[in-house]
Amino acid sequence: MILIGNVVMYLNWIDWAIVIGVLVAMIIAVLYTSRYTRSVAAFLAANRAADRYLLCVADGMAGMASITLIMYFEMYYQAGFPFVWWDLARALIIPTVLGLSGWAIYRFRQTRALTLAQFFEMRYSRNFRVFSGFLAWFSGILNFGIFPAVGAGFFVNFLGLPNTMPIYIIIMVILLSIAVFFTFIGGQIAVMVTDFMQGIFCNITIVIVSFFLLREFNWNQIISTMSANADSNASMIHPFRVNNANDFNTLFYLAQAFIAAYIFMSWQGAQGYNAAARNAHEARMGRSLSVFRMFSMNAFVLVVPICAYTFMNCPDFAQESAQATIEVASIQDAVIGKQAVVVIALRHMLPVGLLGAICAVMGSAFVANCDTYLHSWGSIFIQDVVLPLRKEPINQQQHLKWLRWSISGVAVFIFMFSIFFRQTEYIAMFFSITGAIFTGGAGSAIIGGLYWTRGTTTGAWAAMIVGAVLSICGIVLQQIHAASPFNNHILEYIASCNGLFLAFWSAIGAICSYIVVSLVGKKPEVDLDKLLHRGKYSIASERIQVTTTKINSLQTMIGINKDFKFSDKIVYILMVVWISLVIVGFVGISVYNFIVSVPESWWAVFWHFYVWLSLIGGALTTLWFTIGGTFDVRRLLGRLRKSIIDEQDDGRVINGGNE
């Protein structure tokens, strides 16, 4: 009764109606779309029938995990505005430039591979596929392992529930059961359609919540509070005065930007989306549109923590925040306490209705990300580890059964991992080092495999092994050091490095290994036209040239080709103009700050402009993408109704790799 009483105390019937309404809508969508999951290709990649807006919104929602939101809340609460500025390179500029160019994603879709490791078999060898598939799966489930615990932690803190293991277990079971049901029933089709629906709901909600919080907290209150609680070289407003910050300093941001470019598309948490596009052009446009989709998210993950910081530290709110301060202080684990502070403050800041909406947003974010990750890691284990080792193929029904059982196995693992693993650092650092087990070497194998005919299978092996070994050693040393600190200075230094820097050196080691070993070895015989289905190897149903008009040099320079319709060009040029303005502004302001001593008051005005620009842009793009994505869902279901099952389209590579 105590548990029920606490929940009812914070959420009334209006809040519960919102939460339950969103859940019921998702269940109906899953049950309806499950009828189209009739083949392995449909289960793994929605039969490659998705268009850009559906891909953009759904893939974005899959990435907007509850743990990701909590990660940003944690970082922005600790680091303030400077993290936003330096994170522009990692989260906006680099992905957008690479996405607009079609870097990696365009050529990967041309290969028609259902998983990244299938491409590795096509480009390198079957043995390398099995090894890289296992490594991707191992890295993925390890990285995925803390998601249930962090997600459950949000609801414990947000609902004011007792902070006990039985409560955590109950919440994890509920959340994981919903995610497993979605994935188990409908595969990538159900995952993608429900992720889209949740994405639209979440975009609308986070815009409303952000507007509400900015109305409740005066901008001068925010700036004065954040200025009063930092020294001159660990500013929470001025991004060029952060050298004294403990973790989020200049070197952190530089390393983060490098890794973002290097591992682009190598992380396979949403691998179904990489293969789900109707053709390579739609894959490219879907990825490119993220530059506009990110408006609302950028505003939300900044507005919530800075308002929470003001609420918890400004004297004007001392009376209102007193209970929240007591709750945070009662959390004995310092790491968990840093994750909980924004969540607890948020509960005390929001009124009825918005409390339920945020609860539904975080639940949707957890389920959308969790079902996508369950689908990815469960599929990768079967597709890239189990089946390549078999000499004989299996029938469709048996194949689908294995995929579903593998997904269930991943759910059991992360449930147990969340119970027993001790988190010792920021979520972002944990993501970096666990992800680097695979991405440290995969970045080299992808880039070299798609663009460099000189890259060899031996080079790919070297890169993958070096990246994995360095990352695993870093994780092991950190865990040992946390339990029993090292006396050896070298081991102590390595174990004391945060996860991002360990991931950075893992990537550097892998790059050097790939290049050196490839150059030393014999030049391989690689036919990129065959691999990418170009020229005489092209597939008629995927030819996408829509114009015979000559493309001028300026259009070619910015990435426009004959795949673009007139409307595509308009949208693409808008994206290019916007990101160009962002880059010019980022570089220009950075250079100016290195030359001139810009006062903190200038940055206070800048951040005010940035927040409102993001909010207004988020409101407009939410409307745009809702309309475009709704039409895309209708077209997806129409294509699936007419699709013909190809039993050979199951992820096998018939003729092996290039070596």
pLDDT at 182: 92
Q: Where do we find the tokens 């096509």?
A: 122
Q: What CA–CA distance (Å, rounded) separates 129 from 403?
A: 18
Report the chain's C-alpha Rg in angstroms.
Answer: 24
pLDDT (tens digit per residue) in 377-394: 999 999 999 988 887 878
| 263-274 mean pLDDT | 83
Q: What CA–CA distance (Å, rounded) separates 428 from 237?
A: 21
Question: Helix 354-381 to helix 165-216 angle, to the nearest 10 degrees?
Answer: 130
The first and second tokens of residue 152, run together, are: 């459950």
Judge whether residue 659 has pLDDT over 60. Answer: no
Q: What CA–CA distance (Å, rounded) separates 289 from 304?
A: 25
215-to-73, 222, 225 alpha-carbon distances in Å: 19, 12, 17
pLDDT (tens digit per residue) in 330-339: 887 777 777 7
pLDDT (tens digit per residue) in 235-255: 888 888 766 555 555 667 677
Residues 6+ apart with CB under 8 A from 6: 159, 160, 161, 162
CA angle at residue 455 from 452 to 459, to 5 degrees? Answer: 150
Name the 3-class secondary structure at 444: helix
Q: Would you list the DSSP string of 542-567?
A: G------SPPPHHHHHHT--TT--HH
pLDDT at 231: 54
Which pLDDT band, with edges at 50, 70 and 90, does 329 fall under?
Answer: confident
pLDDT (tens digit per residue) in 644-653: 887 778 777 7
Judge whether residue 528 has pLDDT over 50. Answer: yes
Count how many Cα atoms sit within 13 Å of the Cα of residue 110 in the half-sphere of its side chain: 23
Judge whether residue 590 has pLDDT over 70. Answer: yes
Judge whether residue 565 has pLDDT over 60. Answer: yes
272-to-4, 43, 653 alpha-carbon distances in Å: 38, 9, 18
568-to-48, 49, 62, 196, 324 alpha-carbon distances in Å: 20, 19, 25, 21, 49
- Helix (H) / strand (E) containing 379: helix 354-381
pLDDT at 310: 94
Name the 3-class secondary structure at 530: helix
CA dihedral 68, 586, 296, 46 (to 10 degrees): -60
pLDDT at 29: 93
Which pLDDT band, with edges at 50, 70 and 90, does 230 fall under?
Answer: low
Cross-strand pairs, 50? 277
CA angle at residue 609 from 608 to 614, to 5 degrees? Answer: 105
pLDDT at 399: 92
> Which of these ranges, 285-299, 397-411, 458-472, has the smallest mean pLDDT?
285-299
pLDDT at 229: 58
- Helix (H) / strand (E) containing 68: helix 66-79
Which pLDDT band, with edges at 50, 70 and 90, does 477 fall under?
Answer: confident
Cross-strand pairs, 277? 50
> Which of these ranges, 119-123, 125-129, 523-527, has the smallest mean pLDDT?
523-527
218: left (phi over 0), alpha (psi -120 to 50) or beta: beta
Judge whether residue 162 has pLDDT over 80. Answer: yes
Phi, psi (degrees; rounded to nearest 5) at 102: 80, 15
Length of the chain: 659
H helix intervals, 263-333: 271-275, 280-288, 290-313, 318-329
pLDDT at 633: 95
pLDDT at 645: 81
pTM: 0.82
The first and second tokens of residue 298, run together, are: 């950028």
**CB of 247 within 8 A of CB of 90?**
no
Name the DSSP letter for residue 35: G
The residue among 8 and 358 whose pLDDT is bigger is 358
Residue % of the chain over a pLDDT of 70: 91
Q: Which of 220, 237, 206, 260 is nearest to 76 (CA)?
A: 237
Question: Helix 116-123 to helix 126-144 angle, to the nearest 10 degrees?
Answer: 160
**CB of 213 within 8 A of CB of 304?**
yes
Judge whether residue 8 has pLDDT over 50. Answer: no
| 308-323 mean pLDDT | 91
pLDDT at 260: 77
Question: Helix 94-101 to helix 250-262 angle, to the nearest 10 degrees?
Answer: 20
pLDDT at 490: 73
pLDDT at 374: 93
Residue 145's CB: how many other CB atoms inside 10 A? 21
Residue % of the chain over a pLDDT of 90: 40
Which pLDDT band, with edges at 50, 70 and 90, does 557 fall under?
Answer: confident
Residues 6+ apart with CB under 8 A from 150: 66, 67, 70, 339, 427
594-to-92, 239, 241, 591, 598 alpha-carbon distances in Å: 22, 11, 11, 5, 9
Residues 6+ apart with CB under 8 A from 64: 199, 202, 297, 365, 368, 369
| 438-443 mean pLDDT | 88
* Positive/negative CA dihedral, 587, 590, 596, 602: positive
Residue 473's CB: how many other CB atoms inside 10 A? 14
pLDDT at 120: 93
Cross-strand pairs, 61? none
Which pLDDT band, with edges at 50, 70 and 90, does 206 fall under?
Answer: very high
pLDDT at 220: 92
pLDDT at 80: 84
Which pLDDT band, with edges at 50, 70 and 90, does 201 fall under?
Answer: very high
**CB of 188 within 8 A of CB of 42?**
yes
The first and second tokens of residue 462, run together, are: 């070297």
Which pLDDT band, with edges at 50, 70 and 90, does 547 fall under?
Answer: low
The residue among 570 and 163 whose pLDDT is bigger is 570
The first and second tokens of residue 17, run together, are: 């109606």
CA angle at residue 385 from 384 to 389, to 5 degrees? Answer: 105
Which pLDDT band, with edges at 50, 70 and 90, does 4 fall under?
Answer: very low
**CB of 544 within 8 A of CB of 485?**
no
Name the 3-class secondary structure at 421: coil
Name the 3-class secondary structure at 277: strand
pLDDT (tens digit per residue) in 250-260: 667 677 778 77
pLDDT at 303: 94
Judge whether residue 622 has pLDDT over 70. Answer: yes
Q: Would you list the DSSP string of 91-115?
A: IIIHHHHHHHHTTTHHHHHHHT-SS
pLDDT at 1: 35
Round the average pLDDT of the chain to a whole number and report it.
Answer: 85
> Which of these ranges, 76-80, 141-145, 374-378, 605-609, has the smallest mean pLDDT?
76-80
Q: What CA–CA distance (Å, rounded) separates 271 from 195?
A: 14
b/e 367-387 (16+ beta carbons within 10 angstroms → b): bbbbbbbbbbbbbbbbbbbbb
Q: Which of 75, 614, 618 is nearest to 342 (CA)?
A: 75
> Which of these ranges, 100-114, 250-264, 343-357, 581-595, has the smallest mean pLDDT?
250-264
In 515-635, at which residue ranges do the beta strands (DSSP E only) sit?
none
Phi, psi (degrees; rounded to nearest 5) at 595: -90, -45
Which pLDDT band, with edges at 50, 70 and 90, does 74 fall under?
Answer: confident
CA dihedral 112, 114, 119, 121 (to 10 degrees): -120
pLDDT at 424: 58
Residue 248 CA from chain centroid, whole number: 20
Judge whether residue 186 has pLDDT over 60. Answer: yes
Cross-strand pairs, 97? none
Highest mean pLDDT among 206-215, 293-302, 552-561: 206-215
pLDDT at 7: 47
